[in-house]
Amino acid sequence: MQNKSQLQRRRGKRRELSLLAILLGVVITVVFGAANAYLGLLVGMTVSASIPAAVISMAALRALRRPDALLENNMVQTVGSAGESLAAGVIFTIPAFILLDLDFSLFQTFLLSVFGGFLGILMMIPLRHFLVVEEHETLPFPEGTACAEVLKAGERGGVRARTVFEGLGIGAVYRFFADEDGLNVFSSSIESKIPGYPGAMVGMHAYAALLGVGYIIGVRIACLIFAGGVLGWLVLIPLITTLGSHIAQPIYPATELISQMGPKEIWSNYIRYIGAGGVAFGGFLSLLRSLPMICRSVRTMLPGRSAGEHGAGVPREEQDINLKIVVGGVVLLIAVMAVLPNLPVGVLGAALIAVFGFFFVAVISRIVGIVGGSSCPVSGMTIATLLVCTAILRAAGYQGKAGMAAAISIGAVVCIAMAIASDTSQDLKTGFLVRATPWRQQVGQMIGVLASCLIIGLVVMMLHKAYVIGSEKLSAPQATIMSLVVKGVMEANLPWNLVFMGMAIALVVELLGVRSLPFSIGLYLKIHLTTPIILGGILHWLLVGRKSKKPTAGIETTRGTLFGSGLIAGDAFLGVMLAGFKYFEVSLAIKWLPTIPQAVTLIPFLIVALLLARTDWRKGKGLEDPTDNTL
């Protein structure tokens, strides 16, 4: 009887790509994709759906009395997270058609989404073994690791579950009280100009999730990211402010005098271009450094690391989709885009998608391993893609609206491919930590992408009809930048000098012996986002890093990292819920509360930080390695 029970238990744990997991994942991916499309068009950011999907899955499968459903829960979050990533890629680019007054249709949006989504998955597959397995100790994949801890905690229970779900509850409650679409009791955004230092500003989006990300990635990477923010907000912006005060005319791409702009406007008009140049340069160097290892990673698949060769002695946990299918699928997608009349791409555009798609999918898959998907500069890399591709199209004779439509289509496919590759990388890391089957996850990602593609265009059109994309109610910040870049290149007035400045800064950083990619990411992001990350990294170093025997870049799994994973989960889960309330115009804010000073709003954030610190403020904090085989 006991042996039979153990056999049933093992079979339950092997249940992955089940019909129930697919159906539940599809529902989640559609809902999260729609909510994130609105949130992204409203404020220019999306929230990760992997951990909320895992939490929902665990609750649903427990309610259905599905025992030992660890791998099934993992499959639900794999399918369910695709919608959020697809939404990010779509809302960063597709609205540019509207802003540039170009013709586009729901069917065209569907095609761009499908091609971009499938290319992102297929191009990432050959990189999985190298980035996820061989680089396990050096690439933390914050959200992927956090999601694995949530899944393990739900499976094991005990102290691990209690720690994660304590963090989840605190992160959710904090977001509910702080978010302007929640109760809005206190602000989650804190900023201040520095007296006597014109143009300098320090600030922080006091999000519990960003504190958790910093704690997970550690102090070294967090410091590199924050250093880029310091250069942008405490050096470059004050420099531009000082010099601009003596200039009596606007400097492109801005349309107003620098003397009339604040730090945020200077960042939006100038620093983001500089950061995009740095990210492009750092990404190129990262790819060059990784080429030998990427080739080695591809060769590891040739002997039979594929779904179709289970009998070749390859462990289940190392079986990817067959490499022949991967290569054939990429070639087929590129060829169809080249000849399809519904897409204004053509042969040249398809070739550019193939080159930039592979390049940035490889780079983005590594970046998310460093900083996670929440801080990953997909829009910055899309800007870099549009800069080069639009210039090539213009040189090839493309002009006017036809040229801009072709450039935006190329940028959309590459951007969506990057967004999906980012999510796929995180999901495959989660799968590695819970010992899932890669090819099943890759198929699950494709199902999630296809389901999301069926509704995402309709959501964008509906939101445009209700609020008008580009208006104050639906500003679409990333798409606005994309439209500006394309129009600027086509009309030959793009500020290339800013892009080259970013590349030169990244080169200087490399010459100093420091990897420029995380530094450039910090230069591109607002300092408001990098500040809570560095605080989390410092907290981790004070409590764990100083005594850790692991390499500086590695992850040490402690109760603190579990608690930080919960903070990310709770914050993201509430973010999606509040986005839904916003869509249905349900206001939860308490209007009669007096305005609370910014300094007071730091208190709740510090309380969350102290609760995070408390989890590792004791002896015996170390837990087993996340790759242990005791599941």
CA distance 631 to 629: 6
Question: Quick check: 194 pLDDT over 90?
Answer: yes
CA distance 503 to 516: 10
Instruction: Please give the helix or strand (H or E) that residue 202 lies within, else none.
Output: strand 201-205
Nearest residue to 376 via CA among 143, 135, 626:
143
Residue 387 tokens, joined: 């800069």
Mean pLDDT of the chain: 82
pLDDT at 593: 63
CA-to-CA dists, residue 113 to 100, 349, 363, 387, 509, angstroms = 20, 16, 20, 21, 36
Helix, strand, coil content of the chain in percent (nearest 5): 70, 5, 25
Q: What single DSSP character describes residue 193?
A: E
Q: What single DSSP character describes residue 625?
A: -
Residue 490 tokens, joined: 């086509």
Question: Quick check: 43 pLDDT over 70?
Answer: no
CA distance 181 to 186: 12
pLDDT at 65: 77
Using omega within 30 degrees of 0 as the cis cutoff, is the peptide bond preceding 438 cis? no
CA distance 6 to 165: 28
Q: How many helices (H) and strands (E) does the chain have?
A: 26, 2
The Cα angle at residue 573 between residues 165 and 53, in degrees rounded to 5: 85
CA distance 582 to 588: 9
**CB pairs under 8 A, 24+ apart, for 463-469?**
463/37, 463/38, 463/41, 464/95, 464/98, 469/41, 469/95, 469/98, 469/99
Q: What is the mean pLDDT of residues 103-115?
A: 91
The percent of residues above 70 in pLDDT, for the chain, comes to: 84
Judged by average pLDDT, the poorest of 4-18, 75-89, 114-128, 563-577 is 4-18
Q: pLDDT class for 382, splitting at 50, 70, 90?
A: confident
Q: How many CB atoms lie within 10 A of CB 599?
A: 9
Question: Quick check: 394 pLDDT over 80?
Answer: yes
Judged by average pLDDT, the poorest of 26-35, 321-330, 520-529, 580-589 is 580-589
Instruction: Return the axis-axis angle of helices 82-93 and 106-124, rounded to nearest 10°.
Output: 120
Judged by average pLDDT, the poorest of 288-297, 542-551, 622-631 is 622-631
pLDDT at 309: 45
Distance separating the N- and C-terminal Cα atoms of the chain = 21
Question: Quick check: 25 pLDDT over 90?
Answer: yes
User: 500-516: per-residue pLDDT in tens?
Assistant: 999 999 999 999 998 88
Question: Quick check: 40 pLDDT over 70?
Answer: yes
Q: Which amino acid is at 601?
A: T
Coil vs helix vs strand at 84: helix
CA distance 126 to 301: 8
Residue 304 tokens, joined: 């039979």
Question: Quick check: 351 pLDDT over 90?
Answer: yes
Q: pLDDT class for 114, splitting at 50, 70, 90?
A: very high
Judged by average pLDDT, the poorest of 160-174, 308-322, 490-504 is 308-322
Residue 214 tokens, joined: 């910093």
Instruction: Please give the helix or strand (H or E) that residue 189 lies within, else none.
Output: strand 189-193
Which has more confidence, 62 or 400? 400
Q: What are residue 97's phi and psi, to 5 degrees?
A: -60, -45
pLDDT at 547: 63
Coil vs helix vs strand at 473: coil
Residue 412 tokens, joined: 């959309």
CA distance 579 to 84: 12
Question: Quick check: 551 pLDDT over 50?
Answer: no
Q: pLDDT class for 460, splitting at 50, 70, 90?
A: confident
pLDDT at 66: 78
Question: Quick check: 626 pLDDT over 60?
Answer: no
